[in-house]
Amino acid sequence: MIHPITIDEFLHFKEPIALMDVRTPAEFNQGHIPRAFNLPLFSNEERVKVGTTYKQVGRGEAILLGFDLTGPKWSGFIKDAMLIAPGKKIGVHCWRGGMRSGAMAWALDLYGFDVYLIKGGYKNYRGWVRRQFENKYRLRILGGMTGSGKTRILQHLETIGEQVIDLEDLAQHQGSSYGTMNKMVQPTQEQFENNLANRLKDLNPAADIWVEDESLTIGKRSIPNPFWHQMREAVLINLQVSLSQRVTSLAVEYGTLDKDFLAECTERIHKRLGPEQTKHAIAAIRENRMEDFIRIVLVYYDKTYCTGLTKRADGQVFSLSIDGYDTAAAARQILNISHTLPHGTNVD
């Protein structure tokens, strides 16, 4: 049986149902619903042919061409669907909930599947994504200069039951010139937004949600404006960790990275570091003097962070000195002070 369903209804099923995205691989790679499976009705090239036929000849001819192109594929579609949904219960969508998902739903229904056909397709899903960023959340922002251990503390907070959004993990970037760590590949902007919305839907907006202080952009990805403005209005706990602890921590983290990668990233910020400091930083990299390298670049990053703090409203920033080596103790301190602080203007 075919069950037309809204994307919101589908995403909030008590028991998750496998979702089949029948758009082309190119469409899927640009952005898709997290955990969806791509079983494209047409290849990238076939979709172009069908679309051209529709525009130049007409709807009927385009439909016939579509059947010609997919004819040999139908048994494969059914077999693939059985692999991802052996219980014969599956969601299906295309771009707008049109002919592609309709044809697939018909075939799967014929084979005995319970098919949940997403009304309006991926286009409606993208509308749902944007609405998530406009909802109001009780955000708590964790700030601090580079090397303060914010990410480690957020991870610990999550393990003890706190609600956490790791924006850097979602964006696959650590937010600086060195942010890819020579291994991470950023998702598209569209997919970053989809991943963030998917994370938000699983959280209780009436309870505290911890987020690391970030600039508007993380690498080449931008935090959606409505959510970004809520971050800027929320209370920020500014972690204060000694310079020596930060340098030691960062030297360990960056010391394992490829020297050519570090040098190339340093060259990218040469205008901000200045020619002399850039030269000294790269020399330190080549000579494996990681702590010297870290101290040089921290001058720039610390200055940038302090400038950002001055742009926040009075009474919005609360500083907290912590031991950068004891993550669990720091997390306890943060929770203790958090209970005494107000919430920002983003919460009624």
Render pLDDT for 157-176 as a digit per residue (tens, 0 to 9).
Answer: 999 999 999 999 999 999 89
Which tens digits make up the pLDDT trace of 119-146? Answer: 999 999 999 999 999 999 999 999 999 9
Tell me whether residue 346 is in a domain: no
pLDDT at 315: 87
Tell me whether residue 31 is in a domain: yes
Q: Which of 103, 97, 115, 128 is nearest to 33 (CA)?
A: 128
DSSP per-residue codes, 231-264? HHHS-EEEEE--HHHHHHHHHHHHTTS-HHHHHH
| Same domain assignment for residues 78 and 192 | no
Relative to beta strand 221-222, strand 217-218 is: antiparallel
Last residue of a domain, one of 111, 129, 147: 129
Q: Which of 133, 140, 132 is nearest to 208 (CA)?
A: 140
| Same domain assignment for residues 317 and 218 | yes
Q: Which of 129, 126, 122, 121 is nearest to 196 (CA)?
A: 129
Asked whether the beta carbons of 212 and 168 are under 8 A apart, the reply is yes
| Same domain assignment for residues 202 and 264 | yes
Tell me whether residue 95 is in a domain: yes
| Same domain assignment for residues 167 and 88 | no
144, 145, 148, 153 alpha-carbon torsion, rounded to 10°: 30
Tell me whether residue 345 is in a domain: no
**Which CATH number belongs to the domain containing residue 44 in this structure?**
3.40.250.10
Which pLDDT band holds residue 321 (cuts at 50, 70, 90)?
Answer: very high
Rg (CA), the chain: 25
| Same domain assignment for residues 121 and 11 | yes
| Same domain assignment for residues 274 and 294 | yes
Tell me whether residue 261 is in a domain: yes
| Same domain assignment for residues 173 and 316 | yes
pLDDT above 70 covers a percentage of the chain that reads 99
Is 94 in the active site?
yes
| Same domain assignment for residues 313 and 201 | yes
**Which CATH number belongs to the domain containing residue 235 in this structure?**
3.40.50.300
Which tens digits make up the pLDDT trace of 68-80? Answer: 999 999 999 999 9
Which tens digits make up the pLDDT trace of 257-285? Answer: 999 999 999 999 999 999 999 999 999 99
- CA 200 vs CA 130, 195, 197, 257: distances in Å: 11, 9, 5, 33
Query: How many domains in the chain?
Result: 2
pLDDT at 346: 42
Tell me whether residue 343 is in a domain: no
Average pLDDT for the chain: 95
Last residue of a domain, one of 113, 129, 145: 129
Mean pLDDT across 207-236? 96
Asked whether the beta carbons of 151 and 246 are under 8 A apart, the reply is no
Distance separating alpha carbons of residues 36 and 42, to the nearest angstrom: 17
Q: Which residues, at least 6 apart from 283, have a Cβ–Cβ distance to it below 8 Å?
A: none
| Same domain assignment for residues 115 and 152 | no
| Same domain assignment for residues 153 and 125 | no
pLDDT exceeds 80 at position 309: yes
pLDDT exceeds 70 at position 345: no
Domain of 38, in residue numbers: 2-129
Which pLDDT band holds residue 343 (cuts at 50, 70, 90)?
Answer: confident
DSSP symbol at 31: -
| Same domain assignment for residues 11 and 59 | yes
Which pLDDT band holds residue 348 (cuts at 50, 70, 90)?
Answer: very low
Last residue of a domain, one of 109, 129, 149: 129
What count of other Cβ atoms lies within 10 Å of the Cβ of residue 256? Answer: 9
Q: 42 by DSSP, 3-state: which? A: coil
Tokens of 134: 């406009």
Tell me whether residue 317 is in a domain: yes
| Same domain assignment for residues 121 and 159 | no
Tell me whether residue 344 is in a domain: no
pLDDT at 344: 63
Alpha helices by DSSP H, listed for 160-234, are 167-171, 189-201, 225-233
Active-site position among 33, 41, 94, 262: 94
